[in-house]
Structure 1
Amino acid sequence: MSGERGENTADAPVSAARASNPPPQPEQAPRGRARPRVAAAVASVVLFAAVGVVLAVTTPWNPLPGRVPGGHVAPDPALDFTPAQIERSRAFDAALAPPAYAGLLIGLALVLVLGLTPLGARFVGWATARVRWWPLRVAVAALLLTAVVRVAGLPFDAWSESVLRRYGLSTQSWASWLTDQLKSLGITWVIWTVALALLYVLVRRLPRWWWAGAAAGGFLLVVAASFAYPVAVEPLFNRFHSLPAGPLRSELLAMAERDGVPVTDVLVADASRRTTALNAYVSGFGSTRRIVVYDTLLKNTPPERVESIVAHELGHAKNDDVLHGTLIGALAVSGGICLLYVLLTSPRLQRRAGVDGGGVGAARSAALVLALVTVATQVGAPVQNLISRHIEARADAHSLDLTRDPVTFVSMQHELSVRNISDLRPDPVEYVLWRTHPAGPQRIAMARDWARMHGVPEPPPLNRR
């Protein structure tokens, strides 16, 4: 939580190809042009309103409903973490913040310069001037733009990686790290090429109403990508194997059965090739839904703690969080595409971006599309993070309900926070921009609230001074 018709002479060879395949011209009648723009704007408002209503109704704003005897426990890192652990968390966050903020600002500035000035259009026009076949132009434009943005961010990514190495979280060699960067770039290029190619097909065939087809297509692509991600993308970065037969596997499968969650397998990811961090997750849905635990989690971690974190993942599966998030995301993408049409067909914006000659159907407009999508994604990120934190809190409550063992839950959250060097006192800005999970002290405080509500012994403070 990227040969055109109607391009100018610097963009493509002139001649017969253009004559036989004329570009879609801008609408001449203001009323004719305004009608689809108004329809797209209305559709965008309706879709975003629908997303807002669904989120307002379905988000677990209070993941632990009910009265807490004695009142809610206030999150307090000092109760469970030593001063050295708190200081290490603070220092680690302080070391990661500069490359994170710098990378974000430089990346946004670059895509805005490329997309909202003629620079991006001229760059794509120059690079594709000798390419006659328009789908290949789109592919070249997507490759060049995503590569430029990735290369610009690479120094900041390397800076962050050096911090992870210094704190012992990364186990990768630089060659392995660079290989992962190239894989990520390749995936980004494929996504942008497919998306832009389909978009331009619709623009050429339905120059006034392409937004309707693109909105429907965007919805389907998001759903298809979420379904395919576990089996098509995750294996590019990790190898997986079934958790071997034994008491832990049997207990995890039995726990899933008690929970009413159909799970045929629990997979182990070879995360230790890259990190020492602990983690588990659920991805996909339907036949691709999988619960995955890091191999680092299985090393020297008591079985009951593994069961606690897997119970959290079962909470996601039981509530169909991946499917729910996919459908909400698909609706938001559809609304965003309708809004994209309104912006892309603005004559003023086209002139500013230097694409008023070829229009939206030209590969020269790819930089403008990239800029608008990037800004929209960044604007939507705080909302996604807010919803995600509440969904994660609900999964924590599910773990407590399933295991009925708040003491183990607290010890597991403590271990996760220490091993992953999680930020124990998140900065408010960072919390909004990047935090998808509640902070460790918040999760521990919830476990103590749960214990009070259910009349079981409250987990004692772990930092016994």
Structure 2
Amino acid sequence: MLRKWTFRAVIAYLLFGIAVYVYLFYLAGSTVPDHLKGTSVDPATFLNSREIMLSEEYSKIRNLLYFISTPYEWLFYFLILIFGISKGFERWAESTSRLHIIQSAIYLFLLSVISFVVTFPLSYISYRFSKAYNISTQTFTLWMKDEVIDFWVNFIEMFIIVTVLYWLMKRFKRRWWVPAWLLSIPFMIFMMFIQPVVIDPLYNDFYPLKNKDLETKILALAEKANIPAEHVYEVNMSEKTNALNAYVTGIGSNARIVLWDTTLEQLNEKEILFIMAHEMGHYVEKHIYFGIAGYIILTGIGLWITAWVMNRLVRKKGAELKITAVSSLSSLPLFLLITSVLLFAASPITNWVSRYEEMRADRYGMEMTNDKKAAVQTFHDLTKSGLSQVNPPYLVKIFRYDHPTMLERIRMVEEFKKK
């Protein structure tokens, strides 16, 4: 039985990988429609032939790595369950201490280490391709530093979650998902509050915008939008990437508008002001609060489904999966497997909502600046710096794109009429 399950799981993964490769490299198209050729959305009008070739190559490789990485994670969780590795970690943790909190720490550390080792090859391949296509500027040492920071940040977050979650499972048996859902809300808000001031600085240096003349103009936009902003921050991303970005992070008094230094170096003032107006659009339209509401709803549904599936699988297949009870620490890979599958299945919906909000922010940016030329040039520069596709394949768009495609964004700008 063990050999049969393993064989089927590995074959299913390989067939999925082959299907994705054929779709991305042979079946899916990414050219713009014929009636848009020669317009501002056509890559041939703002990229040279080499840049077009590189963007196609890099986008296909990046998308392939994404689509094979997610089920690779599922395969890993499945195999450590049926081979009894998870059960072995649980026995080791229980033999070390009688305290639940110590057992959780030991078990989670062992699981985290083996997960890091198993997924490292795909992470390294992704890094090497990003480096080869001149997207990443990181040295291997700096990249490994970020990987190690990721490991410990994720371990600490998961330690808190797992310790509380499995205590609730023992305490409430079948209805554990209800208090877990309720406790996830303040935890999520707390993490959003400390993200800009505790976690983000572990990876990069943040400081107030050095260009005070530009900051004055950005703050004037903020005042026009009734946003109580006092500072704009920049972050030194040039030591890591050539890509461009700006974003809003945090909530309440810890909310920040952040510009990458690559954006400041590669874009002109009008383009930067358009980007800032876009980010202000998220604030004005309260997208962060809609995001919190969506998170609460999806988390509740996800935990309910996860609890139902786990109870059913442990009851019927617990012996094969080496799980004696849902509340056993050895069931954690099953919990992670189910939640990962649910997140992947929900991504077309969450990405659609995000794309809608991003398009609204683009429109707000146009309302504030009314500068079509700067907006179109911004999207051209973003495409060039990230070697992204203007019109990605459909499945890539719905599963990966939380922003509208560049074709959609540029067309919106070209057709925009100020109210």
TM value normalised by structure 1: 0.77
Asked whether the 8 Å contact 1:283–1:322 carries over to 2, the reply is no
2:104 is aligned, of 108, 125, 138, to: 138
CA distance in 2, matches of 1:101, 1:210: 32
Q: How big is the shift at 1:349?
A: 4.3
Structure 2 CA distance for partners of 1:74 and 1:408, relative to 1, 3 Å: closer
Task: Give yes or no for contact 1:284–1:322 (8 Å, CA) kept in 2.
Answer: no
* SS state at 2:323 partner: coil
In the alignment, which residue of structure 2 is the partner of 1:355? 323
Q: Does the aligned pair in 2 maintain the 1:99–1:157 contact within 8 Å?
A: no
Q: Is the 8 A contact 1:417 1:440 kept in 2?
A: yes
> Partner of 2:8 in structure 1?
none
Contact 1:128/1:141 (CA < 8 Å) preserved in 2? yes
C-alpha distance 428-361 of structure 1, shift in aligned 2 (>3 A)? same
Asked if 1:238 corresponds to 2:204, the answer is: yes
Indicate the residue corresponding to 2:400 in structure 1: 434
How far residue 139 of structure 1 moved from its aligned partner, in angstroms, is 1.6
Alignment partner, residue 372 of structure 2? 406
Q: How many Å apart are 1:395 and its aligned residue?
A: 0.8
Q: C-alpha deviations, 1:258-306, integer Å up to 9, x for none?
A: 0112212100011112111111001112112110000111114211111
Q: Aligned runs of 1:31-46 on 2, under 5 Å?
A: none
Which amino acid counterpart does residue 131 of structure 1 have in structure 2? T
Q: Does the Cα contact within 8 Å between 1:291 and 1:313 map onto a contact in 2?
A: yes
- 2:176 alignment partner in structure 1: 210
Any idea what the Cα deviations from partners look like across 1:50-103, whole Å, max 9, x if unmatched? xxxxxxxxxxxxxxxxxxxxxxx9954445444443222112213334433332
1:336 aligns with one of 296, 302, 305: 302
Larger radius of gyration: 1
Question: 1:273 aligns to what SS in structure 2?
Answer: coil
Q: Tell me the distance in 2 between the aligned counterparts of 1:339 and 1:372.
A: 9
Aligned pair 1:148/2:129, yes or no? no
Alpha-carbon spacing, 1:258–1:304, altered in 2? closer, same or farther (3 Å): same
Take 1:221 and 1:288, find their aligned partners in 2: how far apart are those partners? 16
Counterpart CA distance in 2 for 1:102 and 1:267 is 36
Retained in 2: the 8 A contact 1:284–1:323? no
- Structure 1 position 129, deviation (Å): 4.4
1:304 counterpart residue number: 270
Q: Alignment partner of 2:258: what SS?
A: strand
SS at match of 1:437: coil
Q: Runs of 5+ in structure 1 lacking a partner?
A: 1-72, 456-465
Q: Which amino acid aligns with 2:59?
A: D
Identical-pair percentage: 24
Q: Equivalents in 2 of 1:289, 1:297: separation in Å? A: 20
Query: Which residue matches 2:123?
Result: 157
Corresponding residue SS for 2:161? helix
Counting matched residue pairs gives 378
The answer on whether the counterparts of 1:118 and 1:355 sit within 8 Å (CA) in structure 2 is no
What is the identity, as a one-letter code, of the residue corresponding to 2:116?
Answer: R
Distance 1:145 1:249 in 2: 46
CA distance in 2, matches of 1:343, 1:352: 16
Partners of 1:243 and 1:131 lie apart in 2 by 51
- What is the CA-CA distance between 1:229 and the residue it aligns to? 1.5
CA spacing shift, 1:98–1:245, aligned 2, 3 Å: closer
Q: Tell me the equivalent position of 1:176.
A: 142
Equivalent position amino acid for 1:314 in 2: M
Cα distance, 1:454 vs structure 2:
4.0
1-structure distance, mates of 2:353, 2:116:
28
Are the aligned partners of 2:87 and 2:323 in contact in 1 as well (CA < 8 Å)?
no
- The residue that corresponds to 2:151 in the other structure is 185
Secondary structure (helix, strand or coil) at the match of 2:106 reads: helix
Q: 1:185 to 1:199 in 2, by over 3 A?
A: same
Partner Cα distance (2:303, 2:193) in 1: 21
Q: Deviations over 1:161-209 (max 9, x none)?
A: 1111112111111011011111111122122211111112222333343
Structure with larger RCO (C-alpha < 8 A, sep 6+) = 1
**TM alignment of 1:46-445, pairs within 5 A:** 76-115=42-81, 117=82, 119-132=84-97, 133-244=99-210, 246-346=212-312, 347-356=315-324, 359-445=325-411
d(CA) in 1 for partners of 2:52 and 2:408?
Answer: 15
Q: 1:296 to 1:448 in 2, by over 3 A?
A: same
One-letter amino acid of the counterpart of residue 209, structure 1 = R
Task: Please give the alpha-carbon distance, in whole angstroms, between the structure 2 residues aligned to 1:430 and 1:243.
Answer: 35
- Which structure has greater helix proportion? 2
CA distance in 2, matches of 1:129, 1:198: 17
